[in-house]
Chains A and B, each alone.
Chain A
Amino acid sequence: MRLSRRTRLAGVALIAAGSLTLAACGGGSDDKSEGGGSTKSVITVYGTNPQNPMIPTATNEVGGGDPLDNLFSGLVAYNTDGSVTNDVAESIEPNKDSTVWTVKLKDGKKFTDGSAVTADSFVKAWNYGANPANKQLNNYFFYPIKGTDDVGNTVGGAKTVSGLKVIDDKSFTITLKSSESDFPLRLGYSAYFPVPDSAYDSAGKITKEYGNKPIGNGPYKLSKTGWEKNKQISLVPNPDYDGPHKAKNGGLTFKFFNSVDSAYTAVQSGTLDVLDQVPPSALTTFESDSAVKAYNEPGSSFSSFTIPERLAHFGKNEEGELRRAAISMAINRPEITKKIFNNARTPASDFTSPVLDGWTDKVTGNEVLKFNPEEAKAKWAEADKISKWSGKFQLAYNNDGAGNKEFSEAMANQIKNTLGIDAEPKAYPTFDELRTVVTDRTIKTPFRTGWQADYPSMLNYLGPIYATGAGSNDGDYSNKDFDKLIQDASAATGDDRYKLIGEAQAILMKDLPAIPLWYQNATAVTAKDLKGFVFNWKQKPDYYALTK
């Protein structure tokens, strides 16, 4: 009797505990389309939980960046090929030497809260982003503007950037540090988006609420459910938007996935429409997979590894030049892109990207990027005559990126076999560990580097990385001639510009501050019934054009 009572009690306790947990799981469900009863279907796309508040100047990674690009529109909008069309701007006119740009805004542009988009919406947001006290991760994007330092902080921690002047409600001027003829190309980037007055609190800070529920002026706006942390962000078309990227679908839902593998399976099984990358596990099969539509073409991100000049034997002298060339010629790029990346990379023939205007594979001196074991051995031997090689050649990489380990090992082997020296990869477990030693300049080996452009221009692949003192010049490379050519190219237009860029690249081919490896292909899979998928220069689809 006593036993059975106890049994019952325990049973009740267990059931109670169980149902409590289950009850907590109720909720969820029915947030189908709320796009004003439209019949166009909502497109579900791959996303990850944003790692920062969704503020244009604070968001620097794709998880937040992709939704932001759809929630806001800037002065200009990027066309699929990387050229720009005025969006909020009526006109953006330079003065004679392209150092002062006058921006005039179109009439009648509104944020989704009804307030007007004014000159102040832009200038205030940019001032906010450049002021280091606001800790905005994108402050670096303001470095071309007068009144900021090399990394985009306002000079002396000032509250405003001296190069920005509001003329009236609908116009303002931007004064640059040096002449730049393609400056408007930068202005479509998310760091330059406008922010409405309602975003700021009484102390002039952008509020947390705004970071959770940004109010923009773009082709889409947040749905009622908006950003559900660690789950999804859902957007509905903004009926008031009348720019070049007007939504053709009934909305976008960025579904968050923990792994690209599970997202790939979701596309296969029809529960996700667009995955803008392909996991390494599917690289060999995705193009023949009958459950999905596959896309694969050369893309805009560039991979290299940097050999800092401060390393012994790699200094800025004849020995260093010989050794860099020898290392570069010892690497069989096509073998690696084929065997390790299944042709999802294209061997590099320059320092930029083939998707850009003005790109050519005929860069003076780029034969140094071809596999040439005899020449490599000869150059290495010649360098040995100047100063005998000793020690190990190590190549640092971060082990949390797919394929890094494999290609670093393969490359170290190729160098070892060709040059007959001791070469090995050196793993850092995570990306931030590698970046810490690189940023603090404590790293004692060559290391892997990469570049994803901020705006579609070849100069963006050269200036920020190899110009003296530039923000991403991790190898502390410095060459006066190169700096001069880059500056002249910025001011020049048309064929003159491309000629100057070619000369600048020829210098890099000789000095090899970084060894170019390959361009990353843009790969994607979509549902079979999805239409309108085209890669833009950012290796992303034009989300507004997707339909089903």
Chain B
Amino acid sequence: MWWYVAKRLLQAIPVFLGATLIIFFLTKLRPGDPILGLIGNKPVSPEVREALRDQFHLNDFIGLQWLYFLKDVVTFNPDFVGLDGQPVFQKIGNALPVTGTLALLALAMDAVIGIVVGTIAGLRRNGWFDSVTLVISLILLSIPIFVVGFVLQFLFGVKWGIFAATVPVDWNVTDLLLPAFVLAIANIATTTRLTRTSVANNMSADHVRTARAKGLSGGVVIRNHVLRNSLVPVVTYIGINLGSLMAGAIITEGIFNVQGIGNLAFGAVSRGDTPLTVSVVSVMVMLYVFMSLIVDLLYAVLDPRIRYV
């Protein structure tokens, strides 16, 4: 199993190189001179503009620019700065904890609510509970996240003042509960549907009937034989989701002013700050790679037929 993990980690290297290369070229394809964005409406002398372009290697061949970038990243150069002259690693380091916590909270809500509700619905297929959850999850899936976000922010944050409407700089976990819930909502619906279908299918599987025939109690059958096997697709979905939760929180982070990775990426893209954009997106890519490795390892735990050598 360790050999398998090592192999997967080695594979991450070409993924990293390829991802940075593609993102780097894509951001460079964007027209416009970022130096002029930096300067705004005021005039700039050609001398200063050229000097700044030189400083950020903007006049070099694009492949060479990528190599400069790689060198800074691989050597963890503390002087590696974005267009604003602020250290990239420090910015990402500041943003990761809050985004990580937000993602884990959302994931926890997603897993707990989704699996519990989905299992109950699956065990009583086509009962009233199943029908009600179906309708609710369809509604949740079809409302855009920014609608839910603004409405809940207004109700809980502004009107009733139960939660902080925006996340303060010195945040703690309770400040993140509301944004995490907003982030989790659409996923909860999907997780519920997935669990429900999977549980329902397993209820009629041969090994479950055998277990019953052996005389095992209902609870043990469901815990050990139905649920465990039903969770394989659910775990895949949830695990991969952590990757996209870390990366895809741009809208939620914007609504609640969470100073996290999503916002960092958004700001960097809109300013044409290539070093920061590529670095942030690379972090997202690596998180995704890492999460899919963990998911693959979890398969072996859940499904006795799968083993890694």
Residues on A close to B: CB < 8 A?
A: 3, 6-7, 9-10, 13-14, 17-18, 21-22, 24-25, 27-31, 49-53, 60-61, 132-133, 135-137, 139-140, 149, 151-153, 157, 208, 211, 228-232, 255-259, 261-263, 265-266, 268-269, 271-272, 291, 400, 428-436, 439, 449-452, 464, 470-472
Contact = CB atoms under 8 A, between A and B. Distances in A.
A449 B271 CA distance: 19
Which of A30, A231, A262 counts the most B-chain CB atoms under 10 A from its CB? A262
Contact of B41 (A269, A436, A472): A472
B85 interface: yes
Interface of B: 30-48, 51-52, 55, 83-86, 90-91, 94-98, 100-101, 104, 153-154, 157-158, 161, 164-166, 168-172, 253-257, 259, 263-264, 266-267, 270-272, 294, 297-298, 300-301, 304
Contact of A258 (B83, B91, B257): B257
A229 B157 CA distance: 26
Contact of A472 (B33, B43, B95, B98): B43
B179 to A, nearest CB: 11
9 contacts: A132-B47, A151-B46, A229-B90, A231-B94, A268-B165, A271-B164, A431-B37, A432-B271, A464-B43
A-B CB proximity, top 4 nearest: A432-B37, A471-B43, A433-B32, A25-B97
A51 B271 contact: yes
Given A258-B263, A432-B34, 10 more contacts: A24-B96, A51-B84, A151-B44, A151-B45, A230-B264, A259-B255, A263-B257, A266-B257, A269-B165, A472-B43
Nearest to B167: A262
B45 A153 contact: yes
B101 A22 contact: yes
Contacts of B172: 28-29
Contacts of A10: 297-298, 301
B147 to A, nearest CB: 13
B300 A6 contact: yes
A261 B171 CA distance: 19
A29 B170 contact: yes
Contacts, number: 195
B235 to A, nearest CB: 10
Contacts of A140: 42-45
Which of B104, B154, B168, B297 counts the most A-chain CB atoms under 10 A from its CB? B168
A472 B158 CA distance: 44
B94 A230 contact: yes
A148 B81 CA distance: 31
A211 B170 contact: no
A472 B166 CA distance: 39
B270 A25 contact: no
A430 B32 contact: yes
A7 B259 CA distance: 36
A258 B253 CA distance: 8
A31 B95 contact: no
Nearest to B255: A262
A272 B164 CA distance: 12
Nearest to A141: B42
Nearest to A262: B257
Contact of A136 (B33, B48, B157): B48
Contact of A266 (B36, B41, B100, B166): B166
Given A25-B97, A132-B48, A432 B301 contact: no
A7 B165 CA distance: 39
B259 A261 contact: no
A451 B40 CA distance: 11
B45 A139 contact: yes
Which of A139, A229, A432 counts the most B-chain CB atoms under 10 A from its CB? A432
Nearest to B291: A17
Contacts of B39: 60, 137, 435
A31 B264 CA distance: 24
Contacts of B257: 257-259, 262-263, 266
Contacts of A268: 158, 165
Contacts of A7: 301
Given A52-B85, A211-B85, A271-B165, A265 B96 contact: no
